[in-house]
Amino acid sequence: MPKNFADGLDLRLVRVDNGSAIPVLERPSDRLFGVDDPFTGARDLVSDAVASVDGSIDFPTEFPLEALAQFNRFGKTLRGDEVIELHSPGSDRNPRYTPSVRKELVLRASKNYKRDWILLGTVSDLADRGDFDIRQLNGKTIRAAEALEHFDSIKEALHPLGSGPRVRVEGVAVLDASDTVVSMESIQSFDLVGPPTPDYVAAMASLNGIVLLTDGWFDGTGTGPSTDAVDAARSVLELFAADELPAPRVYPTVEGGVRFEWTIDGADVALDVAVSGALDMFVVGDTSESDAHHERVTPSDAVFLLRDLM
């Protein structure tokens, strides 16, 4: 790569559009050198790779597969329905880069991808170099990378049998295609989890009552809750409690799932736990149904979205 190669790239914030504070970044026209400019060529190549995910065009054969891992770094903090729109001068195709697009691109060349994540569990092992094991509530153990700034707290929470105090760990996780955590690559925060508040004790009691429902519980209709739905609901409820989010109202669904509901600043928020354990979040604004949006989420996504609504 030529010396001072990166000096030719100049991005400037030219305006912020209406809506959810949409920043517009452009390269100044006096720094564009046409099709021979390697930065312009790279931009178009990335744009084509993103556009290929929805099948509108084929994946560009000239895109180096080893570079797909770099999408792990691009858009890592995108939440829910947030997008990055890629605009190229003279093109009417403006592909949208979303968390799901990012995931698919990375997985084209790897078995795993990376994203922000939250784990809840206990510390069962601590290596000399600072790596440690988190035993999740489901019994699975995850290795977390060194977190020397949290070493004393991790050591305090350590119990060889994983029976020590519960901890909440937030950082960058390595996940497989099914969003199962393989490891924690870096740790941003490590906190001991205190006892649940009275509101969460009540929410857990409501969930325990739902577990007892059988088929026909709703005037002769309604399916009893599935094991997968109850397990997923319990896990995500404990995650909300550990994050000190407002406790939800808890209801059964006639399909055999569980629903959590909140009212936050005039907006109605719901998290549906399906029979399969999948999570879907709905937000309806305080003005009209047109403000509503829905998305499939992971437990960590649900926490991040609720934080954003607070």
Q: State the helix-helix crossing angle for 299-309 and 227-242, rounded to 10 degrees.
A: 40
* Token pair recorded at residue 249: 């109202």
Q: Is there a shared CATH topology between the 113-192 domain and the 198-309 domain? A: no
Lowest mean pLDDT of 116-120, 135-139, 240-244, 274-278, name the range.
135-139
Share of the chain above pLDDT 70, in %: 85
Superfamily for the 113-192 domain: Bacterial OB-fold (2.40.50.200)
Spell out the domain ranges in the chain.
5-110, 113-192, 198-309
Whole-angstrom Cα distance, residue 142 to residue 245? 25
H/E element holding 232? helix 227-242
Q: Which one has a higher pLDDT value, 156 or 12?
A: 156
DSSP strand pairing (22-26 vs 249-252):
unpaired
Q: In this structure, are residues 60 and 45 in contact, taking their beta carbons and an 8 Å threshold?
A: yes
Kindly report the CATH number that applies to the domain delimited by 198-309. Answer: 3.10.450
**pLDDT tens digits, one per residue of 107-142:** 999 999 998 999 999 999 988 777 899 998 888 999
User: How many residues comprise the chain?
Assistant: 310
Nearest C-alpha neighbor of 167 from the set 185, 203, 193: 193
* Token pair recorded at residue 278: 């999948």
Q: What is the pTM of this model?
A: 0.79
Q: What is the mean pLDDT of the chain?
A: 85
Side-chain half-sphere CA neighbours of 287 within 13 A: 2
Lowest mean pLDDT of 23-37, 40-54, 275-289, name the range.
23-37
H/E element holding 41? helix 38-52
Angle at 187 between CA 129 and CA 70, to 5 degrees: 105
Residue range 275-280: average pLDDT? 94
